[in-house]
Amino acid sequence: MKIPFDNSYTALPDQFYTRLDPKPVATPKLIKVNTALAELMGIDLTDLETTEAAEVFAGNTIPDGATPLAMVYAGHQFGGWSPRLGDGRAILLGETVGTDGIRRDIHLKGSGRTPYSRGGDGRAWLGPVLREYIVSEAMAALGIPTTRALAAVETGEKVLREQGPLPGAVFTRVAQSHIRVGTFQYHYARGDKEASKTLADYVIARHYPEAAKADQPYRALIEAVMDKQARLIARWMQVGFIHGVMNTDNMSIAGETIDFGPCAFMDTFHPGTVFSSIDHAGRYAWGKQPSIAHWNLSQLAQSLLPILHEDPDIAVGIGQETIDGFQEIFSTYYFEGFGEKFGLFPLQEGDPDFIGDSLKLLSDNEVDFTLFFRHLTGIARSLLEDGDKGENSLEVLRGLFKEHEALDNWLEDWRKRLTQDKTTPEERLEKMKTVNPVFIPRNHQIEAMIQAAVTGDFAPFERLLSVLSNPYSEQPEHADLELPPKPEEIVHATFCGT
C-alpha cells in the first residue's frame, strides 16, 4: 500500500504537537476500507488483500512518508474550560493532496496513549468506531460537510468500558484538517501571540486562501469559519441531526462535522431532543445548536483578538461586530433550507413564520421528522400532471399525526402557499427529492448493527453502509430501514463512553 504523503502540519513549530508513533495492537484485522475515498486521496490499494493494510490502519506499521504526531488543543467542554486537551487517543499520520486537489489529514483514532491522554487508555472500542464509520459516510452521502471514514480495523484486544470488556478497534478518519476552535484557544490562553499568528496564517493558506486578499485577513478568517459553521448547523438541523458534544474542541475550523461521539438523528420531532447520556441540561439539544455554535465562534474571535488589531479595544470591536453577524447568516441558511424541504422556494415574506408554525405542528403531533418530509415529497409528486394521487403518502402522513384534522388543515394552507410562486410542480418535486432523505442512520438500527458486530456479524454494518450511501433514493427492498423504532426499540440515550 502506498500513500503519497505531503505533510504540512509537521512543519509548524513544536508547540503545536508532539511527535510520536501509534502504539501497536495485538492482532489487527481489517473490517473495512473505503476504496472510493482511498482512490480520491491518491492511495494505492493494490495490496489490500495482504495483512499490510490492516497493519497500517491499526498503527502497527508506519507507512513510508508518514510523520506521526498528536495535536495539542484546548477547549470548553460543556462550558467548562480545559486549558490542555489534545489528541488523547489519536495520531495524525500525515496528509495527502487528492486527485481533486484537496488536502486531507489521515488520522488514526484509538491508537494508544499520548501525552494528552489524561486518565484515558488511548483506545476505542468497536461500537463507536462502527457508529462513526456509518454516520460520517451517511453524512457525506447526504451532502453535508463531514470528516470521512477511510478504514476500520479490529485490534484483537479488549478495551475496558463501563459495560465491561469490549472488542477494541481503530478508526482511520479523514478530514480537511483537524484544526479546531480549541486549537486557537490553546495558544491564546497561553498568551502565545506568535503561535496564534502562525496558526491563523496556516489556516488561511490551507482552508481560506481568499481571506489573505481581504483588507483584514483575520477578520475575514472569522467570517469564513462563521459562514461554514452557520451553513453546517442549518444542514444538520434539516436532517434532524444532533451532534451531542458541541464543545469548542469538537468544532472544526474547516466547517466539517467532526467527532461523532453521542450524536444521533432524531426520530420524533421535538426541538428539545437530546440523546447524549451526559447532557443532562439539554445544552446541545437539536434546537440549541445554533446558539451554541454562535457561542463557540465567539471563543474563536476572542482567541484571535491579539492579532485582530494592536489596540485591544479596537480588536474587541472588530471581533464583536463580526460575530454579531451570525444570527442573520444562520437564519438565511436555516429558512432557505427548510423552505426547500417544504417545497417553498424562492422564499416569500411569510414563509419563515409558516415554517416555524409547521415545525411546531410536527412537534405537537409527535411526528417522525424524516417520514414527514419524505411523504410530503410524495404529495408533491401527486401534484404533477401525470403524478399518482399520492394516496399512499397521504395515508402514511395521516398515520403520523395525532390529530388528522390538523394535518388536513395544514395541507390546505400548504397547497395554497404553493400556488403563490412560479416554481413548477416538476421543479418543486426535483428539489424536494434532493433535500428530503428516504434513509437516515436511525439510532436503533445503529445499536442493532453494533450488537451484531460484537458477535462477529458484520452483515448489518455492510447493509446500512450500502443503503445509506444513496439516502435520497427509494430502495424498496430495504424499506424496513425507513421505519422509526418500535416502542421497545427506542434508544433513549447515546454514550460518550467511546
- Judged by the rule CB under 6 A, the positions of this chain that interact with ligand AMP are 85-89, 116-117, 120-123, 245, 249-250, 259, 261, 496, 498
How far is the CA of 25 from the CAs of 168, 170, 457, in angstroms? 9, 9, 22
Mark 329-364 as b/e (b = at least 16 C-beta within 10 Å). Answer: bbeebbbbbbbbbbbbbebeeebbebbeebbebbbe
The minimum distance between CB 122 and ligand AMP, in angstroms, equals: 5
Q: In this chain, which residue has its C-beta nearest to ligand AMP?
A: 120
Q: Which is nearer to ligand AMP, 19 or 398 (CB)?
A: 19
Nearer to ligand AMP, 98 or 261 (CB): 261
Note if 87 is an active site residue.
Answer: no
How far apart CA 261 and CA 114 sit, in angstroms, is 20
Of 70, 458, 446, which Cα lies nearest the Cα of 262?
Answer: 446
Q: Judged by CB under 5 A, which of 55, 87, 259, 482 binds Mg ion?
A: 259
Residues 191-250 that bind Mg ion (CB under 5 A): 250
Q: What are the cell numbers at 460?
A: 448489518
Which residue's beta carbon is nearest to the bound Mg ion? 259
Pick what 104 binds: Mg ion, ligand AMP, none; C-beta below 5 to 8 Å, kind-dependent.
none
Partner in contact with 120, chosen from Mg ion, ligand AMP, none, beta carbon below 5 to 8 Å by kind: ligand AMP
3-state secondary structure of 119: coil
CB of 38 to ligand AMP, least distance (A): 25
Number of chain positions touching Mg ion (CB under 5 A): 2
> How near is the Cβ of 250 to ligand AMP at its closest, in Å?
5
Q: How far is the CA of 378 from the CAs of 80, 391, 473, in angstroms?
A: 46, 9, 13
Q: In whole angstroms, how large is the CA radius of gyration of the chain?
A: 23
With beta carbons less than 8 A apart as the criterion, state whether 31 and 169 touch: yes
Q: CB-wise, 87 or 267, nearer to ligand AMP?
A: 87
Give me the least distance between CB of 182 and Mg ion, in Å please.
8
Residue 117's binding partner out of ligand AMP, Mg ion, none, with CB under 5 to 8 Å set by partner kind? ligand AMP
Of the candidates 14, 192, 215, 249, the residue annotated as catalytic is 249
Which CB, 117 or 382, lies closer to ligand AMP?
117
> Residue 296 phi/psi, 5° resolution?
-60, -40
Contact (CB, 8 A) for 263 and 464: no
C-alpha to C-alpha distance for 6 and 2, rounded to whole angstroms: 12
If the CB atoms of residues 89 and 431 are measured against ligand AMP, the closer one turns out to be 89
Measured distance between the N- and C-terminal CA atoms of the chain, rounded to whole angstroms:
29
By a kind-dependent CB cut-off of 5 to 8 A, residue 261 interacts, out of ligand AMP, Mg ion, none, with ligand AMP
Nearest distance, CB of residue 245 and Mg ion, angstroms: 7
- Cis omega (within 30 of 0) on the bond before 167? no
Interface residues toward Mg ion, by CB under 5 A: 250, 259
Instruction: Give the catalytic positions in this structure.
Output: 249
